[in-house]
Copies of this chain bind each other. A is one copy, B any other.
Amino acid sequence: MKFEVTILGSSSSTPIFNRNPSAQLLNINEKFILIDCGEATQNQLLHFGLKANRIDHIFISHLHGDHYLGLVGLLSSLHLNGRTKPMDIFGPPELIEIIDLQFKHSQTNLRYPINFNVTNSTVSEKLFESFDVVVESFPLDHRIPCTGFRFTEKQRLRKMIKEKIDELSIPADQVQKIKKGENFTDKKGKIHLSEDLTTEADHPKSYAYCSDTICSWKYLDYIRNSDTLYHEATFLHDMHARAEETFHTTALQAAEVALKANAGKLIIGHFSARYRELEPLLAEAKTLFPNTFLAIEGLTFEI
C-alpha cells in the first residue's frame, strides 16, 4: 500500500528563495490528490516529473491567493492537454465563482466536467470516500474561512506469511485475494483459512493537513493520532505576537500541537519570506517534538 505526500510548495504569501506557495501531492496507491494549489503549482508538477492528469481530486483549504492561484492555470492546461475524465474539487463556496468567471471571460468550455463540492469551515464533515481513503474536513481558525483536511486510509490488507506461499504453492494471483480474506484451496482440495495464511494488517494510516491557522486546541480532536501531521509554522516563536495578530502559528506552537495530538511525525511549512534559512524553525520545533521535518519542495514523505 502506498501512502505518501510530496511537497510542491512551502512558502507563505509570496514565492521566494526558490520556495513556491502551498501545494502538496498525495499519492494513495497511485491515485493522486492535490492539496492546495498556489501559483505555479503546474510548473512544480512539471519540474518534479509528476503527471498532473493523474490528479482526480483537489482540496483547497481557503481563498488566500497563495493557496489557490495556480488552480485555474492547472485546470486550463489539463483541458488543453485533452483531459476528458472528471475532476472533483473541494473548497470554499466562492471558489467555483472565481473559476467560472475566469473560464467565462476566456470563453473556455472545458472538455471535462468539474464536480465542485463546497466545504464548510464551521463544522467537521466527511467530504469523500473511496476504496482507498476517507477524507474529512475540519475548521481551522484563520483570518478568512479555512479548513484543514484529514486523509485516512481504509482498512489495510492482512499480511501474507511468505513461507506459506512456497509450502502450499500458492499462485501469485491468489495472494491479493487471500490478503483480502478469501480462503485458499490447495491442489489436494484442502481448504486453508485466510487467517491461518496471514497476519494482522497494519493499522490504517492517516495524514492531517493544517494550513493557515492560529494555534489553538480546538482542532486537536480532528488531528489526534495522525501518523503524519502537516502544520503551518510561519514564524519562529520570538514572533508569536505577530503570529497571533495574523492568525498564524510558530514552529514551537506547531510542535506543541503535534505533541498534544499524539502525532507520529510532524512536517512544518508555510514559511515566512523573512526566513532565508529554515534550520532555526526546524531546531525550534524539535525542542518539543523531535520527529519534525521541514516541508522542502520535491521531498516525499511516507505517511
Contacts and interface: CB of A to CB of B under 8 A. Distances in A.
B15 A43 contact: yes
Interface of A: 13-16, 20, 39-40, 42-43, 46, 63-66, 69-70, 72-73, 76-77, 80-81, 92, 94-95, 97-98, 101-102, 105-108, 143-144
Contact of A73 (B39, B97, B106): B39
Nearest to A21: B73
A69 B75 CA distance: 12
A279 B166 CA distance: 59
Nearest to A39: B73
A247 to B, nearest CB: 12
A16 B106 contact: no
Given A14-B80, A65-B102, 18 more contacts: A15-B40, A39-B43, A39-B69, A39-B70, A64-B106, A65-B72, A65-B76, A65-B106, A66-B76, A69-B69, A69-B76, A94-B105, A97-B105, A98-B102, A101-B101, A105-B144, A106-B144, A107-B144
A87 to B, nearest CB: 16
A73 B69 contact: yes
